[in-house]
Amino acid sequence: MQTNVNDSGDKPSRALRLVCLIGRAHLDLAQQSNSFDRQTIGFHAVTLTAATVFALIVWSSLFATFMSVVAAVGLAALVALLIYLVDSTAFASDSEPAGILRSGRLPPAWWGRLIIRCSIAFGFSLLTATGAMLVLFSGSINQRLQMERTQQNLPIQEAYAAKEQALKARLIAPLEAEVAGLQNERDDVTKNLQTATATRAEQQQRASKARIQLGREVTGGLPGYVPGYGPRAEEAQRQQREADLLLKSATDEIKSYETQLADIGKRIAEATHKLASAGAVLDAKIRELELAKVADPSWMPARIDPLMEYMALRTIESDPVRGPEASWLHHLASIFMLLIELCPFILQNFFGVASVYRVRHNEHTKYEAEEVEGSFAKLRREHEQPAIDVGVDGAWAEAEVVETRSVADRKVSLDEVNP
């Protein structure tokens, strides 16, 4: 016989369906219960949700320190789901009445479940608290790991830096010195060219003045000048010849300096090209050195994993300066996580109110179990009854066959006696 538990005509609301799904409560029995019991079911669903979301946030923050955000959230969701399943199962498995409905002493099995539940919660809270500490101390942990990595890699770094300097001294330094020497030579020639150019300009002016003065002396073109080739004309002519010689010398020097600058420019271009080629070779060598340095067994790479973070956290807690405060904060976080993890269980078992829903649930479960047991007993009886009837009918048939055979045997014996 099937019975419908939900006798009321109203359909359960979406909110009631949701809280019953989260808290693993019986929807039909919750619909029949009073509003206070439905609020209690909803309150337990909220505590389960809060503990699960809190675990999701903490573990997501932890996993995100050494993996991608998508992978961190996915893995944290699995951990939070595991915590939710444990909490919801513990909530659904407790069928002891609370409040004024509780009678007598609690059974030993309840205390056993309490110990197991507290042990599981302690493990979850300890792991979650450690993860939260790794997130809160992420700055100090990274600084500590960086310092340890720098100290461990310093000898290797110095050795490979010496190799790099040796390569530079062999490949780059001679070419740089050559380019620097050519540039200095170019600067000197440039200065000489500037001096020769200034000298040429000066001698051009002197030659021009001497030529004008010679013309005046010879032709008498201005008042006060007597035409004729006299001492002043000779002096002007001498100055003109001297200026022309110096002008010619300066012009030759300028041509020489310009030729030298062109040659130095070509040599600088060639040396610069060689320096660029040597720089490319040096870059390739440096990359090979970097790969060799990273592949060195003694080299500590710049990576972060949970073990390294935990070891750095333990180092921080053992520090004589910051260790006591870090350990105290870790203990406080562990206690807080333990309370968060045990909150649904504590509220249900130690601060649980008298719930008619719980009584209704227990009695309904017993009724369904008795009903199912009675149905199976009836099926067994119906299955065993035909076998009993078949056994009785077979016995009667066998008796009739035996009796018939006896009568026939007696008849044969009489025929043999009276032929």
| Per-residue pLDDT reduced to its tens digit, 91-117 | 666 555 555 455 556 677 767 777 887
Q: Which residues fall within 8 angstroms of residue 299, CB to CB, at 6 or more apart?
A: 153, 156, 293
Cα–chain center distance at 33: 48
Summary mean pLDDT of the chain: 76
**What pLDDT, on the 0 to 100 scale, is given for residue 78?**
92
Highest mean pLDDT: which range of 26-35, 96-105, 127-136, 166-175 = 166-175
Radius of gyration of the chain (CA): 55
Among 79-93, 98-112, 139-153, 259-273, which is the least confidently predicted range?
98-112
What class has domain 154-295? mainly alpha
pLDDT digits (tens, 9 = 90+) for 195-223: 888 888 888 888 888 777 777 766 766 66
Exposure class string for 368-394: b at 16+ Cβ within 10 A, else e: eeeeeeeeeeeeeeeeeeeeeeeeeee
Q: Give the H or E element holding residue 244.
A: helix 231-295
199 CB burial (10 A radius; 0-12, 13-18, 19+): middle
The C-alpha angle with vertex 193 and arms to 189 and 197, in degrees rounded to 5, equals 175
Statement: residue 39 has pLDDT above 60: yes
Domain boundaries of the chain, sorted by first residue: 14-136+319-355, 154-295
**What pLDDT, on the 0 to 100 scale, is given for residue 2?**
41
Q: Cα(327)–Cα(269) distance, rounded to whole angstroms? A: 66
Could you give the percent of the chain with pLDDT greater than 90?
2
Whether the Cβ atoms of residue 354 and residue 100 lie closer than 8 Å to each other: yes
Q: Which residues fall within 8 angstroms of residue 371, CB to CB, at 6 or more apart?
A: 1, 3
| DSSP assignment letter at 295 | H
77 vs 130, more confident:
77
Assign 182 to helix, strand or coil.
Answer: helix
Q: Cα(263)–Cα(266) distance, rounded to whole angstroms? A: 5
**Nearest residue to 125 (alpha-carbon basis) of 269, 300, 330, 319:** 330
Q: Cα(146)–Cα(63) distance, rounded to whole angstroms? A: 19
131 vs 280, more confident:
280
Average pLDDT, integer, range 345-372: 71
Task: Please report which confidence band the pLDDT of residue 77 belongs to, taking 50, 70 and 90 as the band edges.
Answer: very high
**Nearest residue to 62 (alpha-carbon basis) of 137, 125, 120:** 137
Q: Cα(226)–Cα(237) distance, rounded to whole angstroms? A: 16
Whether the Cβ atoms of residue 115 and residue 369 lie closer than 8 Å to each other: no
Statement: residue 411 has pLDDT above 70: no
The model's pTM is 0.50
pLDDT digits (tens, 9 = 90+) for 290-334: 888 888 777 777 777 777 777 887 888 888 887 888 888 878 877
**Nearest residue to 128 (alpha-carbon basis) of 48, 49, 44, 62:** 62
**What pLDDT, on the 0 to 100 scale, is given for residue 414?**
32
Task: Please report which confidence band the pLDDT of residue 79 belongs to, taking 50, 70 and 90 as the band edges.
Answer: confident
Three-state secondary structure of 45-111:
HHHHHHHHHHHHHHHHHHHCCCCCHHHHHHHHHHHHHHHHHHHHHHHHHCCCCCHHHCCCCCCHHHH
Average pLDDT, integer, range 340-344: 69
340 vs 15, more confident:
15
